[in-house]
Structure 1
Amino acid sequence: MELPERASIIEVGPRDGLQNERNFVETAAKIEFIKKLKKAGFQEMELTSFVSPKWVPQMKDSEEILASCLDATRNFVLTPNERGIQRLLETSCRNTAVFVGVSDTFNQKNINKTTAESLDELKPLIRDLKNKGYFVRACISTAFYCPYEGKVDEQDVLAVCEKFEEFGVDELSVADTIGMATPKEVFELFSLLKHRLRSATLLTAHFHDTRGLGLANIFSALQAGVNRFDASAGGLGGCPFAPGASGNVATEDVLHMLSSMGIQTGIQMEPLLEAVDYISRHVAKPIESRQYRLARNAGIFS
């Protein structure tokens, strides 16, 4: 079995993890959560998003988050449209994430555009960002299944990824948005993408743990040659536009699995669990990740 010596974990808890939280998490708590996560060693993190607070009220304090949390590591802000990108340009953040759903129905329910319309809108915006020296990550939603259309054709996923490559993005984050993918489907899709996409494009896997297959799917992606993974501290998350989608795969569980297999990440478990314990007091959903539950049962956290 051939596995990488190192893997990167991109922490998405502060943005993707909290965006669907029904109670507003106070800005000071978000900032403290991010700072605690950074102490664990993360070099890449989604901090917040520039979206309409009407649709995602949890992100209404995004400028304040950026003002307090930017540093020399790679900090992402999700910018789903031209307005979001314009807001980004008014800050000192140099890393952005755009997204599109492979499924037309999902994309329309999310941002009121078809997939093709979104790609057309993003093309000049991405090229302008690249000309200005920004790092651009493209998040590919519903790459396996759509809550409205069912199974997604892997050739459609490839076509969207190739479009983004044509636009000049630095990274593709390919997501099992509703957590329905199986390890076999994961291996097949990522093997195809590794074979067809340029080696210079960073390829990241993003899994939700809706059916308990998040870790198995990460292992399958590793076997397909992927060594970058999105994960959310505490398994927080879910998508407001994807009915039935539960939280992301928990960062601490991913870290435990990778470390147990001898794969280095540069992340430290103890401060990561401390960050999870901290945010657990500010969210409505109980934290039930395996590593946090073990630590709590051992009396490390009350």
Structure 2
Amino acid sequence: MKTHQEQQYLDLLALLLKTGSERVDRTGVGTKAIFGHHMRFDLAEGFPVFTTKKVYWKIAFKEMLWMLSGGHNIKELVEQNVHIWSDWPYKKFIDAQPAGSADKSLSMKEFEQRILADDAFAQKWGDLGPVYGKQWRRWKTDDGREIDQVAQVIDLLKNNPSSRRILFDGWNVAELEQMALPPCHKHYQFYVDPNTNKLSGGMVQRSCDSYLGLAFNIANLAFLTTILAEQTGYDVGEIVWFGMDVHLYLNHIDQAKLQLTREPRPFPRLVIKRKPASLFEYKIDDFELDGYDPHPAIPAPVAV
């Protein structure tokens, strides 16, 4: 019997629990970590949204579409009921308020409401700096130009598919200090197999939150590869994920152990209901996951 592709992820959680070295990290929470790991998924065998706990795939896809738009303000996400980037600007805002001020005790919900209601407040406090999408779509050069790396990828896939330069990167050393969080999934590269007409996508992740973040990262790599294939005339091949500092936060250990007691279920199928004129015109309503039947969600706190 063929091993379920999700077993790779469960094996990674088990490896981290068994052999991960405890390390002090930036957040102060602490992790069990290993260095260097990879997984690969054949998209012909199903769309890799993990099933051993529910993955909120619409949130993941909304985040990827926001990045592809070049977005870097949480207002565009909060408007879509996506809150996964709000912790960083909220913490920055609270830390900037003087002791005893009313704003010092502002709740996250109240902060997000102000982001939605006040454009000036959103511009000042909701901006994440030149994160992901800004680098992907508008990488700034010394002479004042802006480079659209994703548009270059599309052009190469259409006109020079054997190129070894079909890639984009978010690790802009000159602008890291301006970012709310430097890119974790930092490098994407694509490969066309001339024998099968299939497009495969790979991603290098310098820092990987294996319990909370990785399920989103895998789903989004598959999502991006799929819509790129549709826009450029290819079938889907594989996705390959390379993790460097791969870690499990110490306050996610019980959740990981629970997840390991569950058996994977069949992967769903991604249904694309509309093909727009360009990669940058997709909407979340253009997508469905057919046959997604996961185990229940297992909540865990975000380390900020």
Give me the TM-score of the superposition, normalised by structure 2: 0.33
The higher-RCO structure (CA 8 Å, 6+ apart) is 2
- Kindly indicate which of the two structures has a greater share of residues assigned to strand: 2
Choose between structure 1 and 2: higher helix proportion.
1
Select the structure of larger CA radius of gyration: 2
Instruction: Output the TM-score relative to the length of structure 1.
Output: 0.33
